[in-house]
């Protein structure tokens, strides 16, 4: 397993739409395992393949290890699709690709996701609360969407100005 470099804004690859995986083979499993290692190393709760520069529809989540120190139980999904969604939840989100920035985002509180698991088997997952938030956040990444795309245009422009200032200073 390897820790991969995580892309950060404004890397253009974060704005691209990722391609489906045709089969979860050894190469995809390797990607999944590397993503998990990268996520745990960064103390994140989720990671999407485009964040490590691979434009394929693969995500990894573990909402309990980083927060509670529970045993590592990464959930891998290839080609995730939300097949049911309801309710509202507002969560203060962050993203490994957007360091040092957090903002409240409203998403669905209850979702059902289908896709392929690490063994290329069909998977259906019911998720609520933080897991639902995390899955929606990671699936957004596969469509080139970041959590800052959910906040108001005013908040986003303040964020972009701060980011530009930080880049100029660096």
CA-nearest of 52, 151, 51, 47 to 101 is 151
169: annotated active-site residue: no
Query: Any contact of residue 95 with Ni ion (CB under 5 A)?
Result: yes
Token representation of residue 101: 């920035």
Classify residue 13 as exposed, middle or buried by CB count within 10 Å of its CB (0-12, 13-18, 19+): middle
| Residue window 11-50: x/- pattern of binding to Ni ion, with contact defined by CB under 5 A | ----------------------------------------
CA distances from 13 to 8, 55, 99 (A): 9, 8, 16
Tell me, by CB under 5 A, how many residues bind Ni ion. Answer: 1
Of the two residues 22 and 92, which places its CB atom closer to Ni ion in the complex?
Answer: 92
Of 37, 93, 129, 138, which one is the catalytic site residue? 138
Binding site for Ni ion (CB under 5 A): 95
Residues carrying an active site annotation: 138
């Amino acid at each position: 397993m390897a820790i991969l470099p995580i892309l950060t804004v404004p890397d253009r690859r974060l704005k691209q739409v990722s391609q489906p995986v045709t089969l979860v083979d050894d190469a995809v499993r390797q990607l999944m395992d590397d993503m998990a290692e990268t996520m745990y190393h960064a103390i994140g709760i989720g990671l999407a393949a485009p964040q490590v520069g691979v434009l394929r529809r693969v995500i990894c989540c573990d909402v309990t290890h980083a927060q509670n120190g529970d045993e590592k139980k990464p959930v891998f999904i290839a080609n995730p699709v939300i097949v049911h969604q309801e309710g509202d939840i507002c969560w203060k989100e962050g993203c490994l690709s957007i360091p040092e920035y957090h903002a409240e985002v409203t998403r669905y509180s209850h979702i059902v996701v289908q896709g392929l698991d690490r063994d290329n088997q069909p998977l259906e997952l019911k998720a609520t609360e933080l897991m639902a938030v995390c899955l929606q956040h990671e699936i957004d990444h596969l469509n080139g969407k970041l959590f800052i795309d959910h906040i108001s245009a005013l908040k986003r422009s303040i964020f972009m100005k701060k980011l530009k200032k930080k880049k100029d200073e660096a």
